[in-house]
Amino acid sequence: MRNKEDEKLRKIAVERYLNGEAPKTICSSMHKSSSWLLKWVDRHDPNDPQWYCTGWIMRRKKEKENKEKGSLLRKRGTPGSSPRR
């Protein structure tokens, strides 16, 4: 399964980076670009055990967008409602 292999590579690459290995060394040994490595380093979240999962990322992104929309609605009030006087 390709996704599982990709997820494993992401975890390994970020772990190597966090352990102080040079990005150039990591990228050349894994045949990946520096932008790929930096993308996963940015997405790394030590509080989220599934930060490296493909489907999980999309769900988190949607959850974040929904939270932002919800907070905007709470600030503005319900559409169509008039302010109390």
Of 65, 67, 23, 66, whose CA–CA distance to 42 is shortest? 23
What's the mean pLDDT when you consider all of the chain?
A: 81
**Percent with pLDDT over 90 in the chain:** 44
pLDDT bin (cut points 50, 70, 90) of residue 54 is confident
Quickly tell me which residue has 């990322």 as its tokens.
57
Q: Indicate the length of the chain as a whole number.
A: 85
Residue 24 structure tokens: 């150039």
Residue 52 structure tokens: 């490296």
Q: What per-residue confidence (pLDDT) applies to 76? A: 59
Indicate the pTM of the whole model. Answer: 0.63
Q: What per-residue confidence (pLDDT) applies to 51? A: 83
Encode pLDDT of 28-52 as tens digits.
999 999 999 999 999 898 888 888 8
Residue 84 structure tokens: 């109390």
Q: What per-residue confidence (pLDDT) applies to 53? A: 83
